[in-house]
Amino acid sequence: MSHNLKQLEKEFLEYLEIEKGRSLKTIENYDRYLKSYFSFSKITESKDITDDNVREFRLWLNRRSGHNDGDTLKKKTQNYYLIALRVFLKYLAKRDIKSLAPDKIELAKVSERSLDLISHDELIRLMDAPTLSKTGEEDKDLKSFRDKAVLELLFSTGLRVSELCSLNCDIDLKKDEMSIRGKGEKVRVVFLSQEAKDAVAEYLKHRKDMEEALFVSLGTNENKRLDSRSIQRIVKHYAIKAGITKKVTPHVIRHSFATDLLQNGADLRSVQMMLGHSSITTTQIYTHITDKQLGDVHKKFHNKRS
């Protein structure tokens, strides 16, 4: 039986959206990656996906220029194309449509991901930065209260910046936890520290508008819900104010949340749940934190001969 790739890809993308609950951005990316392979290979049917044309496609990706002239695509970027193809092949196998076996697609090896981290002292300075004026006195304007709440919530919950932006004013500060809808529309529980609850309560106490969004812009576009770019600017501003020379982003605070938990004895699986990672392998970028702790324990307690 002939299986037209164009129709199969359309059905696959609909499957990702409806049954898997993937975001529209993810679906757009999968569409682009798959069309790139189909166009390169000049194939039109599922049975035409072979080891040979996949290998040729991988060579083409490896030699293809990146965004900067003279640079090739990073291995991690190349893998996005291969992952999309592998997930598509798994979908075909599920429907018993003849094609290449998904396990034939092997990903390129990438170097271990390094984490952008700030020290504990830098983190404290960052958290305190919104509440201090240039003279070192306590700052009591609405913007300072808002920005303090932004930073404390990011560190307390480990939220992604998009998840933070989606929060509304109906947050229940009597509880130490709240539910958040994250990637793939999956709901998870995140936890609120007393510092975060106090900061949000103080901010809401000074809010006079009736907007439902928790974090809104002030000034020119008053009461408009803050977007991810705005939160990134806020974090960057206070990192500079705190005298931190490293690049600090909301994701760096998310890293700090995870490493803080691990360094204080949390297990990797619990951290995975709190971060909303669908796979433990994603959370394993933090294992070097616990590995270092093990090394410190070894040095402190091993071979203490009299």
pLDDT tens, residue by residue, 99-141: 999 999 988 776 655 667 888 899 999 999 998 766 555 657 8
Question: Is 150 contained in some domain?
Answer: yes
Distance CA(292)–CA(306), nearest Å, equals 26
Is residue 170 domain-shared with residue 210, that is, in the same domain?
yes
254 catalytic per annotation:
yes
**Per-residue pLDDT at 151 exceeds 50:** yes
255 catalytic per annotation:
no
Global pTM value: 0.66
Q: Find the CATH number of the domain harbouring 17.
A: 1.10.150
pLDDT category at 304 given cuts 50, 70, 90 is low
**Per-residue pLDDT at 295 exceeds 70:** no
Is residue 160 domain-shared with residue 30, that is, in the same domain?
no
- Over residues 4-27, the mean pLDDT reads 90
Residue of 160, 197, 238, 255 marked catalytic: 160
- Over residues 231-252, the mean pLDDT reads 94
pLDDT category at 69 given cuts 50, 70, 90 is very low
Is residue 161 domain-shared with residue 253, that is, in the same domain?
yes
Residue % of the chain over a pLDDT of 90: 58
Is residue 99 domain-shared with residue 133, that is, in the same domain?
no
- Over residues 211-227, the mean pLDDT reads 88
Question: Is 124 contained in some domain?
Answer: yes
Residue of 183, 236, 237, 288 marked catalytic: 183
- Over residues 206-229, the mean pLDDT reads 89
Last residue in a domain, options 75, 104, 133? 104
Is residue 156 domain-shared with residue 252, that is, in the same domain?
yes
Question: Is 61 contained in some domain?
Answer: yes
Is residue 137 domain-shared with residue 227, that is, in the same domain?
yes
Last residue in a domain, options 42, 73, 104? 104
**Per-residue pLDDT at 98 exceeds 70:** yes
pLDDT category at 144 given cuts 50, 70, 90 is very high
Q: How many domains, the chain?
A: 2
Q: Which domain holds residue 81?
A: 5-104
CB burial class (10 A; 0-12, 13-18, 19+) of residue 207? middle
Question: Is 112 contained in some domain?
Answer: no
Is residue 218 domain-shared with residue 290, that is, in the same domain?
yes
Is residue 275 domain-shared with residue 163, that is, in the same domain?
yes
Residue of 86, 125, 255, 277 marked catalytic: 277
Q: Which residue has the higher pLDDT, 267 or 160?
A: 160
* 201 in Cβ contact with 173 (< 8 Å): yes
Is residue 168 domain-shared with residue 256, that is, in the same domain?
yes
Is residue 127 domain-shared with residue 212, that is, in the same domain?
yes
251 catalytic per annotation:
yes
Is residue 100 domain-shared with residue 124, that is, in the same domain?
no
146 catalytic per annotation:
no
Is residue 288 domain-shared with residue 155, that is, in the same domain?
yes
277 catalytic per annotation:
yes
Q: Indicate if the alpha-carbon torsion angle 173, 177, 182, 187 is positive or negative.
A: negative
Distance CA(100)–CA(300), nearest Å, equals 53
269 catalytic per annotation:
no
Instruction: Tell me what the pLDDT averaged over the chain comes to.
Output: 86
